[in-house]
Chain A
Amino acid sequence: MTAPAPAAWSAQRRAGVATNVAIQLACLLAVLIGLNWISSRRYARWDLTAQAEYSLGDKTRQLLGRIGEGEAKYQVVVFYAPDEYGAWEAALRKTKDILEEYRTNSHGRIEYEVLSLYTGGREAVMDAVKRHKIRTEQFSPNDVLFKKGDTERIVNLSEFFQQDWSSAPQGQPPKLTAFNGEQIITSTLQALSQEKPIVIGFTAGHEESSPAKAGGEGYSIFARQILEKREGYEIRQIQIGGPEGVPKGVDLVLVAGPLRDFTESDVRNLKLYLNAGGRALFLLDAYPDRDGRKLVILNAFLAEWGIIAGHDLVIADADSALAVEIPGEGGTSLRTKDPTMFRPAKYENRHLITSKFDSDKEIHFVGACSVLIDPKQAPEGIKTTVLVYTNADTFATPLFPQVKTFVAGKCMDGPFGLAAAAEGKIKGNAGPETRIVVIGDSTALCDGIWGMKVARPDLVLNSIRWLANQEYIIGVDPKTPEDRSLVLTDSEDGYVFRVAVFFLPLIAIAFGGTMWLTRRSQ
């Protein structure tokens, strides 16, 4: 007896089942789209790389944790301009990766977009210009705009990284040797987030480098573009010798390369300010006075805090000295090493200001003087630390500018200090602790040096951040990509080819052959 044949499905019934399947599919699609939508908003990323290349530091996470729900969103727009060598590509990739981490860790409070100026399409760029109300005339290629409400900051991508062109093969992009993006992005976001800017008072009246003066010895680039525009500080020029002393509202005093000595009333007012927990940064030079006079009163004042600024010029050895181009006749130029322009040899990692610096850190000193410490001279409660050292082959001469060679008995042998810090509370100070930083160089940040593209503001910036209680920004580590380059010799090249292209496929063939023979014999 055979089973009865199933009744044929009517067209109506088939249509009903098809509709049912279509509804199921639509439901599943809705669930999957919903799931993906939720996961795109609530997600986690695990960085498995050996150096945690894509992870943000604790300090940055702390800052992002403080960004409140009620605040306006932070917008970051990168105006990327590709170059023919692809030199910016690696930096842009890293910047995008790290911005993605900022977006993740801020739960979408920080948003970013990257616009490629030449390849991204005019429509997309114009759309972004309109959306962010960007004034195009204020932009340069590779600028990064940070915006919160109507407040904005602009940083150039070139500040995010260091490259090594010397080891780049012909026609290949240079290698990225350091990536500083996290520190710059965090400090810029911090600048946007603070309601009241920190006020830096640049002293005037002693022929200091002025933040208002552009070019040469002026400080306009560092003060306006870096401190004001990028870092969000408010810059004021102040007189401290008057009866008012250091004006109220000034959070830290900056003395930038004075050429005239301070007066007794200047140092008296400064002392009153510092005794009450004030903050001051002194950038001094080897050539303090055009008339040959020395900064006697100022240096004596600093000595009272245990910091000894030398009346000398630091002369570096050939290894530390920087090569500079000297213009010659007929448009020619000569590349030579200037022993008064050099890189320090060592940084004090136990002090926060220099805690993240290693000996390869690119910081340049130009026409510097020595800065030592004498803890015995410091008031009770004040601790002094040397921050930066020269190497053993460097010396400091008091006989400049006439003699720039080593004279035994007159010159100081290296290693010695180039910058120092003093901190603590003196007796009777019920306020915050006093902090002082003295760096034996102001020239390295003047406009002329920025023009030569050798200005490196990290030491001064970290000093300002420390003086302004912005320690969390200093705590952000710069990332140094590990060198994993691999150049194969001819024999290694042959080995790789043999194993990868012949040996491994042979395993599959041998395994298959064995299986075939085994089955055949059964």
Chain B
Amino acid sequence: MTNLPALTKREFTAYFYSPMAYVIATGYLIFSGLSFYILLKDTRDANAMRNLLTFLGFIHTIFVPMVTMRLIAEERKTGTLEMLVTAPVSDVEIAVSKFLGALGFTVLMIAPTLLYTWIITRVGGRPDYGLVWASYIGLVCLTAAYISIGLFISSTTANQIIAAILTFVVLFTVYFLLGFFAGSVRGLPWKDTINWPEVVTYVHFSSHLESFGKGLVDTRDIVYFLSVVGLGLFLTVKSLESRRWR
């Protein structure tokens, strides 16, 4: 893992040379700004960040795929992946550096939204800062999970658009759609031993974001998101390795 810092730096700085990154960041800030404005007007609550977290979770299902789509798919398409894998770096280092680079860029993209709290204080509101911090911890955990999924999908195809669409479909399902299915899975096999609605609710990303939005940091949610990150990275590494034997 000695090459990890250098590789991560390369991945992170690469974003700043791409005009696409600024387009994504600008689009993200416009969408999140609009959500914040509408929520503040609608809820009339200085703790609008509580509800904004749910919105940002949804907005990230659109913007994170745009960040992750090129991670490996582009390198595969342009052939630079072969150069990278012949270099003396392991597949694990490649996967983790790309993950950390994307996470660093996304966190930087989210950072300006912290100024919403400052805007609230400027117009006389008193936000609960503990709640704000918990919300952002949750948002970063969620984003890390999203990126690991996006990274894996990007490693399975050479087409960026397909990678983005597939990632969006998966994220949208896990973040949003699963909630609707929780009640309708009672009839699945082994229903006497496995509480399927509970399992589906547990896998549902939104359910793990709920506590953060209230100002609570819960180890169960952190363990869950880290598990998703671990699984995503493992699958990415195996996907990279598979080019040797497929």
How many angstroms from the CA of A253 to the CA of B176 in the assembled complex?
59
Contact of B215 with A47 in the complex, beta carbons under 8 Å: yes
How many angstroms from the CA of A500 to the CA of B191 in the assembled complex?
48
How many angstroms from the CA of A456 to the CA of B204 in the assembled complex?
42
How many inter-chain residue pairs (CB < 8 Å) link A and B? Answer: 158
Contact of A28 with B231 in the complex, beta carbons under 8 Å: yes
Contact of B219 with A505 in the complex, beta carbons under 8 Å: no
What 1/0 mask marks residues of chain B from 116 to 129 whose CB sits below 8 Å from any chain A CB?
10011011111111
Contact of B46 with A486 in the complex, beta carbons under 8 Å: yes
Q: How far is the CB of B181 from chain A (nearest CB, A)?
A: 14
Q: How far is the CB of B22 from chain A (nearest CB, A)?
A: 3
Contact of B218 with A45 in the complex, beta carbons under 8 Å: yes
User: Which B residues touch A36, using CB under 8 A?
Assistant: 202, 220, 223-224, 227
Answer whether residue A97 sits at the interface, using C-beta atoms and an 8 A cutoff: yes
Contact of A48 with B216 in the complex, beta carbons under 8 Å: yes
User: Which A residues touch B219, using CB under 8 A?
Assistant: 39, 43-45
User: Which B residues touch A196, using CB under 8 A?
Assistant: none
How many angstroms from the CA of A43 to the CA of B134 in the assembled complex?
17
Interface of A is mostly: helix
Answer whether residue A21 sits at the interface, using C-beta atoms and an 8 A cutoff: yes
The residue of chain A having its C-beta at the shortest distance from the C-beta of B116 within the complex is: A500
Indicate which residue in A482, A487, A499, A505 contacts B30 across the interface (CB closer than 8 Å): A505
What 1/0 mask marks residues of chain B from 188 to 226 whose CB sits below 8 Å from any chain A CB?
000000000000001000000001001111111001100
Q: How far is the CB of B128 from chain A (nearest CB, A)?
A: 5
Contact of B234 with A28 in the complex, beta carbons under 8 Å: yes
Contact of B123 with A14 in the complex, beta carbons under 8 Å: no
Answer whether residue B25 sits at the interface, using C-beta atoms and an 8 A cutoff: yes
User: Which B residues touch A136, using CB under 8 A?
Assistant: none
User: Which B residues touch A138, using CB under 8 A?
Assistant: none
Contact of B46 with A507 in the complex, beta carbons under 8 Å: no
Those of A76-105 within 8 Å (CB) of chain B = 97
User: Which A residues touch B22, using CB under 8 A?
Assistant: 508-509, 511-513, 515
Indicate which residue in A13, A482, A501 contacts B37 across the interface (CB closer than 8 Å): A501
How many angstroms from the CA of A51 to the CA of B126 in the assembled complex?
13
Answer whether residue A273 sits at the interface, using C-beta atoms and an 8 A cutoff: no
How many angstroms from the CA of A14 to the CA of B244 in the assembled complex?
10
Bin chain A's interface residue count: 35 or more
The residue of chain A having its C-beta at the shortest distance from the C-beta of B112 within the complex is: A504
Indicate which residue in A21, A46, A486, A504 contacts B44 across the interface (CB closer than 8 Å): A486
The residue of chain B having its C-beta at the shortest distance from the C-beta of A38 within the complex is: B223
Contact of A488 with B40 in the complex, beta carbons under 8 Å: yes
Contact of A488 with B41 in the complex, beta carbons under 8 Å: yes
The residue of chain B having its C-beta at the shortest distance from the C-beta of A497 within the complex is: B37
The residue of chain A having its C-beta at the shortest distance from the C-beta of B27 within the complex is: A505
Contact of B127 with A484 in the complex, beta carbons under 8 Å: yes
How many angstroms from the CA of A14 to the CA of B164 in the assembled complex?
29
Contact of B119 with A484 in the complex, beta carbons under 8 Å: no
Answer whether residue A53 sits at the interface, using C-beta atoms and an 8 A cutoff: yes
Contact of B34 with A501 in the complex, beta carbons under 8 Å: yes
Answer whether residue A165 sits at the interface, using C-beta atoms and an 8 A cutoff: no
Contact of B245 with A486 in the complex, beta carbons under 8 Å: no
How many angstroms from the CA of A220 to the CA of B16 in the assembled complex?
74
Given known A-B contacts A45-B219, A496-B119, A512 and B125 have beta carbons under 8 A apart: no
Indicate which residue in A32, A43, A486 contacts B220 across the interface (CB closer than 8 Å): A43
Indicate which residue in A488, A497, A507 contacts B112 across the interface (CB closer than 8 Å): A507
Answer whether residue B172 sits at the interface, using C-beta atoms and an 8 A cutoff: no
Given known A-B contacts A17-B245, A28-B230, A493-B41, A49 and B217 have beta carbons under 8 A apart: no
Given known A-B contacts A54-B214, A487-B44, A501 and B220 have beta carbons under 8 A apart: no
Q: How far is the CB of A367 from chain B (nearest CB, A)?
A: 41
The residue of chain B having its C-beta at the shortest distance from the C-beta of A491 within the complex is: B123
Those of A459-506 within 8 Å (CB) of chain B = 482, 484-488, 492-493, 495-497, 499-502, 504-505
Answer whether residue B47 sits at the interface, using C-beta atoms and an 8 A cutoff: yes
Contact of A488 with B123 in the complex, beta carbons under 8 Å: yes
How many angstroms from the CA of A486 to the CA of B117 in the assembled complex?
13
How many angstroms from the CA of A18 to the CA of B241 in the assembled complex?
11
The residue of chain B having its C-beta at the shortest distance from the C-beta of A507 within the complex is: B112
User: Which B residues touch A121, using CB under 8 A?
Assistant: 183
Contact of A32 with B231 in the complex, beta carbons under 8 Å: yes
Q: How far is the CB of A378 from chain B (nearest CB, A)?
A: 47
The residue of chain B having its C-beta at the shortest distance from the C-beta of A46 within the complex is: B217
Contact of A39 with B230 in the complex, beta carbons under 8 Å: no
Those of A106-126 within 8 Å (CB) of chain B = 121, 123
Contact of A512 with B245 in the complex, beta carbons under 8 Å: no
Q: How far is the CB of B129 from chain A (nearest CB, A)?
A: 7
Q: How far is the CB of B121 from chain A (nearest CB, A)?
A: 10
User: Which A residues touch B227, using CB under 8 A?
Assistant: 32, 35-36
Answer whether residue B131 sits at the interface, using C-beta atoms and an 8 A cutoff: yes
Those of B96-136 within 8 Å (CB) of chain A = 112-113, 115-116, 119-120, 122-131, 133-134
Q: How far is the CB of A384 from chain B (nearest CB, A)?
A: 42
- Give the interface of B toward A (CB within 8 A): 16-17, 19, 21-23, 25-26, 29-30, 33-34, 36-37, 40-41, 44-47, 112-113, 115-116, 119-120, 122-131, 133-134, 183, 186, 202, 211, 214-220, 223-224, 227, 230-231, 234-235, 238, 241-242, 245-246
Knowing that A486-B125, A508-B112 touch, tell me 9 more A-B residue pairs with CB under 8 angstroms.
A24-B238, A39-B220, A39-B223, A46-B217, A48-B131, A488-B40, A492-B124, A505-B29, A505-B30
Supply 26 A–B pairs (Cβ within 8 Å), ascending by A. A14-B246, A21-B238, A24-B234, A24-B238, A36-B220, A40-B202, A40-B220, A45-B211, A48-B133, A50-B129, A54-B216, A97-B214, A484-B125, A488-B41, A488-B123, A495-B119, A496-B40, A496-B123, A497-B37, A499-B115, A500-B116, A505-B26, A512-B19, A512-B21, A515-B16, A515-B22
Top 3 A-B pairs, shortest CB-CB distance: A512-B22, A48-B130, A49-B215
